[in-house]
C-alpha cells in the first residue's frame, strides 16, 4: 500500500515539523557515519541514500506547492529552510570523512556491487569533485557561500516573475475583444465575475494573454499587453519592485566565480562536465550550423508575413505584437483553417482518453482512476499506473491555469522508484500544465500546441514512471544527462502528427465528429508553417544562454542578447523588451548553459521517432517494447548514447530533425 502525500491535511505547521524532524535525523546519521569504522555499501551508502530520500521527499512537497499553490506563508517557510538545506548539501559535498568512505568503497568493494550501485558510486565521486572536495579550506568556505547565495537568488528570480505576472490585471469592454474567440471571451467574463467586476478581465497568464495576441483586432490592446508581458520582472514594471536585473548580474558573477574555483574556465564548461556534449565550442558549432540551415527559411517566413500584413491591413512595419496576429491570419489564408477552428476538435477529456490508448498500445500500460490519492486542488485528477495487472506507479494531473500557479508546463517527481536500499517505493509523477479552465458545462479546449505540450509532459512522466532501475539516484529521469532528458518527451510529441492517433483524440465540441481527414491534410500542409522562424527563436535562446555562461569576463546580458540577435535572428523586438528577466529556465531552473538541450535531444528524438513513423498494430507494439527496454526504462544507469545506439544500431544523425522541421528542400 503506497503512502501518499496527505495534501488534503497538510498545514504549514506540520510541513515545518516534518522538515525539522528530517534535518535532525540527517545530521544524526552523518555524525554516526563519519565514525563508522567499516566503509561498505551496506554501512554507508544504504543508510545515507535512504535518509536523503526521505528528506528530499518532504522538501520536494514545499517546492511543488510553491509552483502550484503559492502563498505568503509557504514562501516564508521555503525561505526559512532554504539556507538550512543548501548548507546541509554543501557540507555533504565537502565532508572529507564521507568522501574517504566512498573512495574506499570504490577502491575495494566495487566489483562486488551490482551495476546500478557502481554507477551511483561513480556519480558520487564526480559530484564530490563538483562540490569542491579537493579545494583548500578557505576556498571551500567561499564555495559554500556561493552555493547558499545562488540558491537564494534562483528562488528570488522565480518569485519576482510570478509576482510580476500576477499583479497585472486589465479590465476591458466587449468592444475591445473584437476577433477574439467566444470561449476566450467567456473565460475573461468568468474571471471578472469572480472579482465582482463588470466587463472582462485579462491577465498575463498564457491562456489569457495568448488569445489577445493571436486574435484581437485591437492593435493598441495587443501592443499594451505585449509590452506588459515583455517587461515583466524588469526595472520598467511595477516601479521596479520585482526587478530581476541585479539578480541576474549576481547569479552570473557567482556562477563564474564558482566555476573558476573548481578549475573550469567558465560556467559553460562546468555545466557540460556531466552532460552528453563535450565542450561549449562543440555545442555552439552545432547551434550555429543549425542556425545557418534554418535562417534562409526564417527569412522567407518573415518576408511572406510582412507582405501579407501589408496587403491585408496596410501595415508597413511589422511589430512584435503584430506577428502572432498576422501569423494566425496568414495560416487561415494559406491553409483555410484557424487555430481556433482546429481547437474545437480537441476536448481535453477526449485527448487524454486517446493518449492513454496510445500509451497502452506502445507499452501495455494503463492509467486507472484512484480517488484515494489526496489532492492539493479540486482541479487535480489522480491515477494508478498499471502493467500486467500490477500497479507500478501513480500520477497526478493538474492541468488548468490559475493565480498562484507558475506559468508553463512541467513534469516533476512526487516519489522516485526505490527498491535497492531495502525500501519499496513506487514512482509517482506530477504532470502540470496551464490550459484554459472549463467554463460551465463545456470542457477545456486545447490548441494543437497545447496538445503537443500534453504529449511532451506525458513523455517525461513515462520516463519517470516506467523505469526498471531500483536505485533512486539513477531511476527514472535521475542521473540522465541533462541534454538527453528531453528525448522521451519530444519523441511523444511526434505522435500528435499521426492521423491514426488524431482519430482517437479528437471529437468536435458540437457535432462529436472526429477531425476530418481533409482538415488533417490542411494541418499537415501547415506543419512546417513558420518552422524556420520557430527554429531560429529557439536557437537564439540557446546561443544566448551558452555565450552568457561561456564568457570569461563580466558582461552585460542585454548586450550579449543583442549580439546574438544580430547574428541569427530575423525578428528584432523593441529595445524595451526584457526577455531575460523572466527566462526562468536558465535563472530559476536547471537549464543554465543547458538550454541547447532541447535541440540536442530533438536530434535524438526525431531519429528514434523516424523508426516508428507510419507503423501500426503489432509492429508498433513491438517497437514500443524495444524502445521501452533500451531507452525509456533505463534511467541513468548508463550513458544515453549507449541506450540510443542499442536501439538504433548506430550514432545519431541530423537528417530526421531537418526533415521533421521542414528544413529540407
Of 177, 180, 181, 199, nearest in space to 190 by CA: 199
Q: Which residue has the cell 555524525?
A: 31
d(CA 119, CA 127): 12
DSSP-derived 3-state class of residue 254? helix
d(CA 174, CA 198): 11
Helix segments in 499-632, DSSP class H: 499-505, 517-525, 531-550, 557-568, 584-587, 597-612, 617-627
Q: Who's near 78: CB < 8 A, 6+ residues apart?
A: 62, 63, 66, 155
d(CA 413, CA 356): 20
DSSP-derived 3-state class of residue 537? helix
**What is the β-pairing status of strands 390-400 and 381-387?**
antiparallel
Contact 270, 264 (CB under 8 A): yes
* CB-CB neighbours of 586 under 10 Å: 25
Q: Which residue has the cell 494508478?
A: 384
Task: Please give the span between the terminal C-alpha atoms of the chain, in angstroms, as a whole number.
Answer: 56
d(CA 530, CA 436): 25
* CB-CB neighbours of 5 under 10 Å: 21
Task: Give the angle subtended at the CA of 656 by the CAs of 300 and 514, to the nearest 5°.
Answer: 80
129: which 3 cell numbers?
Answer: 569533485
The catalytic residue positions are 457
d(CA 293, CA 103): 47
d(CA 129, CA 150): 18
- Burial of 328 (C-beta count, 10 Å sphere; 0-12/13-18/19+): middle
Contact 268, 549 (CB under 8 A): yes
How far is Cα of residue 549 from the mean position of the Cα atoms in its chain? 20
d(CA 551, CA 255): 11
DSSP-derived 3-state class of residue 445? strand
List Cα–Cα distances, 634 to 115, 462, 466, 621, 640, in angstroms. Answer: 12, 12, 9, 19, 9
Q: Calculate the CA dihedral of residues 611, 616, 622, 628 and round it to 10 degrees.
A: 60
**What is the β-pairing status of strands 428-435 and 410-415?**
antiparallel
List Cα–Cα distances, 162 to 156, 201, 509, 582, in angstroms. Answer: 10, 18, 33, 9
DSSP-derived 3-state class of residue 42? helix
Q: At what angle do helices 557-568 and 531-550 cross, to 10 degrees?
A: 140
**What is the β-pairing status of strands 410-415 and 169-172?**
unpaired
* CB-CB neighbours of 428 under 10 Å: 24
Amino acid at each position: 500500500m503506497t503512502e501518499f502525500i496527505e495534501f488534503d491535511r497538510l498545514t504549514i505547521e506540520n510541513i515545518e515539523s516534518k522538515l525539522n524532524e528530517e534535518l535532525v535525523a540527517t545530521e544524526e546519521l552523518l555524525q554516526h557515519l563519519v565514525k563508522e569504522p567499516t566503509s561498505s555499501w551496506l554501512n554507508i551508502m544504504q543508510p545515507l541514500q535512504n535518509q536523503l530520500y526521505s528528506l528530499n521527499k518532504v522538501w520536494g512537497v514545499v517546492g511543488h506547492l510553491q509552483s502550484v499553490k503559492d502563498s505568503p506563508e509557504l514562501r516564508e517557510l521555503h525561505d526559512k529552510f532554504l539556507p538550512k538545506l543548501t548548507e546541509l548539501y554543501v557540507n555533504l559535498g565537502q565532508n572529507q570523512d564521507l568522501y574517504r568512505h566512498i573512495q574506499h568503497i570504490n577502491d575495494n568493494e566495487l566489483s562486488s556491487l551490482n551495476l546500478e550501485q557502481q554507477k551511483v558510486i561513480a556519480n558520487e565521486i564526480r559530484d564530490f569533485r563538483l562540490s569542491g572536495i579537493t579545494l583548500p579550506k578557505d576556498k571551500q568556505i567561499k564555495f559554500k557561500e556561493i552555493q547558499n547565495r545562488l540558491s537564494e537568488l534562483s528562488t528570488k528570480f522565480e518569485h519576482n516573475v510570478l509576482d510580476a505576472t500576477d499583479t497585472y490585471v486589465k479590465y476591458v469592454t466587449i468592444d475591445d475583444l473584437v476577433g477574439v474567440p467566444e470561449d476566450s471571451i467567456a473565460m475573461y467574463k468568468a474571471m471578472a465575475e469572480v472579482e465582482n467586476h463588470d466587463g472582462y478581465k485579462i491577465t498575463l497568464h498564457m491562456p489569457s494573454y495568448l488569445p489577445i495576441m493571436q486574435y484581437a483586432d485591437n492593435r493598441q490592446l495587443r501592443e499594451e499587453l505585449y509590452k506588459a508581458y515583455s517587461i515583466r520582472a524588469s526595472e520598467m514594471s511595477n516601479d521596479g519592485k520585482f526587478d530581476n536585473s541585479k539578480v541576474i548580474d549576481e547569479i552570473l558573477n557567482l556562477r563564474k566565480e564558482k566555476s573558476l574555483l573548481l578549475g573550469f574556465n567558465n560556467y559553460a564548461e562546468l555545466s557540460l562536465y556531466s552532460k552528453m556534449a563535450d565542450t561549449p565550442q562543440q555545442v555552439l558549432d552545432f547551434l550555429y550550423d543549425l542556425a545557418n540551415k534554418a535562417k534562409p527559411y526564417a527569412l522567407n517566413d518573415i518576408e511572406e508575413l510582412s507582405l501579407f500584413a501589408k496587403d491585408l491591413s496596410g501595415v508597413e512595419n511589422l511589430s512584435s505584437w503584430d506577428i502572432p496576429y498576422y501569423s494566425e491570419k496568414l495560416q487561415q489564408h494559406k491553409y483555410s483553417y484557424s487555430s481556433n477552428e482546429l481547437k474545437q476538435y480537441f476536448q481535453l477529456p477526449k485527448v487524454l482518453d486517446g493518449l492513454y490508448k496510445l500509451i497502452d498500445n506502445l507499452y501495455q500500460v494503463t492509467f486507472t482512476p484512484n480517488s484515494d490519492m489526496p489532492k492539493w486542488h479540486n482541479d487535480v485528477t489522480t491515477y494508478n499506473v498499471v502493467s500486467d495487472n500490477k500497479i507500478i506507479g501513480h500520477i497526478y494531473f493538474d492541468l488548468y491555469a490559475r493565480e498562484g500557479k507558475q506559468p508553463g508546463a512541467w513534469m516533476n517527481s512526487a516519489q522516485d522508484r526505490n527498491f535497492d536500499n531495502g525500501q519499496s517505493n513506487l514512482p509517482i509523477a506530477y504532470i502540470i500544465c496551464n490550459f484554459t479552465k472549463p467554463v460551465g458545462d463545456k470542457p477545456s479546449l486545447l490548441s494543437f500546441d497545447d496538445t503537443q505540450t500534453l504529449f511532451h509532459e506525458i513523455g517525461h512522466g513515462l520516463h519517470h514512471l516506467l523505469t526498471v532501475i531500483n536505485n533512486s539516484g539513477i531511476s527514472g529521469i535521475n542521473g540522465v544527462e541533462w541534454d538527453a532528458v528531453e528525448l522521451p518527451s519530444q519523441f511523444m510529441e511526434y505522435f500528435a502528427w499521426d492521423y491514426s492517433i488524431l482519430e482517437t483524440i479528437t471529437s468536435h465540441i458540437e457535432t462529436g465528429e472526429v477531425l476530418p481527414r481533409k482538415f488533417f491534410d490542411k494541418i499537415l500542409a501547415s506543419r512546417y508553417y513558420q518552422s524556420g522562424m520557430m527554429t531560429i527563436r529557439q536557437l537564439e535562446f540557446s546561443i544566448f544562454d551558452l555565450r552568457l555562461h561561456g564568457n570569461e569576463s563580466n558582461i552585460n546580458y542585454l548586450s550579449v542578447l543583442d549580439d546574438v540577435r544580430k547574428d541569427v535572428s530575423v525578428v528584432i523586438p523593441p529595445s524595451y523588451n526584457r526577455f531575460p528577466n523572466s527566462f526562468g529556465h536558465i535563472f530559476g531552473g536547471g537549464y543554465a548553459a543547458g538550454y541547447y538541450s532541447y535541440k540536442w535531444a530533438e536530434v535524438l528524438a526525431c531519429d528514434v521517432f523516424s523508426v516508428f513513423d507510419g507503423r501500426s498494430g503489432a509492429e508498433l507494439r513491438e517497437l514500443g517494447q524495444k524502445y521501452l527496454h533500451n531507452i525509456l526504462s533505463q534511467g541513468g544507469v548508463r550513458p544515453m548514447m549507449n541506450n540510443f545506439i542499442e536501439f538504433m544500431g548506430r550514432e545519431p544523425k541530423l537528417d530526421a530533425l531537418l526533415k521533421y522541421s521542414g528544413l529540407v528542400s
